[in-house]
Amino acid sequence: MIRQQYNLQDLPMADLERIGLAKKGQLSLDEDDLNAMLSGRRTDMLRLENLQADGIHIPALDAKLSLRPNAEGKLDLLVHPIYKDIEPPYYLTAEEAEQLEKGEKVNIDKVIVDKDGKAKEVLVEFDRDTNEFIITDTEQILAPEEINGLPLTPQQKEKYRKGQEVETDDGTTIQYSAKDKHGVRSDRLALIASVLIDGGVSYILFKGLNALFNKPQKKEPGTNYHKAIEKLKAEGIKVDQQNTPDNDADEERAETVSR
């Protein structure tokens, strides 16, 4: 999970139309991929077809997409294909870069000095799909307030923002990942997270989450998952029964309800 950084109306629609992901102002992007882009993350790998670039026709290209503000304050569409050459950020040692590339480490938390001379904490990951390093400003990482209705402590939230695994009291373990389009991985297929956004609480029902790195995943949700759903229903917040893992455990999905 990460704070939403961009607004839907600011999307570079002309660029999206050029790569076949929009037509006449209508997007043809998966909702989770769209949310990932608006939150400053990358989409899943997409197949882009019939591309034109500098007079060259590209029949098909597998790539991930993301957004970045330009000097004019508008959003540029970034295309992340599969790179042959790997370029680590300057502040990683050769050993650290190799550990990430080989999957020996999931991420590395670093304190760096930005272009303005200020110290900044970043989380570095390696995307093996595109052979790129992904850098996330930890201040932009939004730690959940609750998982399955159980509050996270300040220490757990800090661990989450640093990219560490966080285990809750009902046996659910979560970990932030900028590589994942949901922004979170878990040892459970489904969970309910509550996040504080603009002073209000939003509840996000995740399904089909990716597993923690190099660890098995349990199909059954945490012990407090169903209690959390019943509590939302009792408070008048509708939770569609088809979104519970009992009915459709393998489908990737994230839905948001607010109060």
> Distances from the Cα of 122 to the Cαs of 42, 69, 91, 98, in angstroms?
17, 19, 11, 18
69/76 Cα distance (integer angstroms):
6
pTM of the model: 0.76
Using one digit for the tens of pLDDT, what is the confidence trace for 50-72? 777 667 777 878 899 999 999 88
Share of the chain above pLDDT 70, in %: 89
- Sign of the alpha-carbon torsion through 86, 92, 93, 96: negative
Question: What are the pLDDT digits (tens) for 135-174?
Answer: 999 998 999 999 999 999 999 999 999 999 999 999 999 9
Query: pLDDT tens digits for 76-113?
Result: 999 998 888 889 999 999 999 999 999 999 999 999 99
Neighbours of 22 (CB within 10 A): 18
**Phi-psi group of 24: left, alpha or beta (phi > 0 → left; psi -120 to 50 → alpha; rest → beta):** left
Question: b/e string for 154-168 if b means 16 or more Cβ within 10 A?
Answer: eebbebbbbbebbeb
Region 199-227 average pLDDT: 90
Looking at per-residue confidence, does 24 or 190 come out higher? 190
